[in-house]
Structure 1
Amino acid sequence: MAFTVRTVHTAEPAPAEPRAVRSLLHVGFEGEFADDDFEHALGGVHALVHGADGIVAHGSVVMR
């Protein structure tokens, strides 16, 4: 399986990426990832790993 990694600032994602990341986090945290938690992950640079089924991993660096 091939993967591609894309880095993007919060203000510049492709239209479907924020929704896909939010869905990934919801599944990864077994439904325990609230909207407030998602808001804290925004505002910085994101690494998005795309696989055949869409985004399969996400990481972010957000200045505090």
Structure 2
Amino acid sequence: MNHDDALRKGSGSAPLFVEIMMAGRWMQLMVVGKEELLVQAMQSSSNLFHIMDQSSSSPAQLNSAF
């Protein structure tokens, strides 16, 4: 899903931006106030979070993000 699709589906709701770091780069996931979309984003990023948990020197930052 690109940002335009998310904006169309989430019209009238304030977007929530969740930033996650992968391979030294910041990627931005836009969640438009619908819990299903947040769950989908979390599921699709599960292996990413696993990688971060293994390699991060400060996993507390990841926990505090949610």
**Structure 1 length-normalised TM:** 0.33
**Structure 2 length-normalised TM:** 0.33
Structure number with the higher helix fraction is: 2
Structure with greater Cα Rg: 2
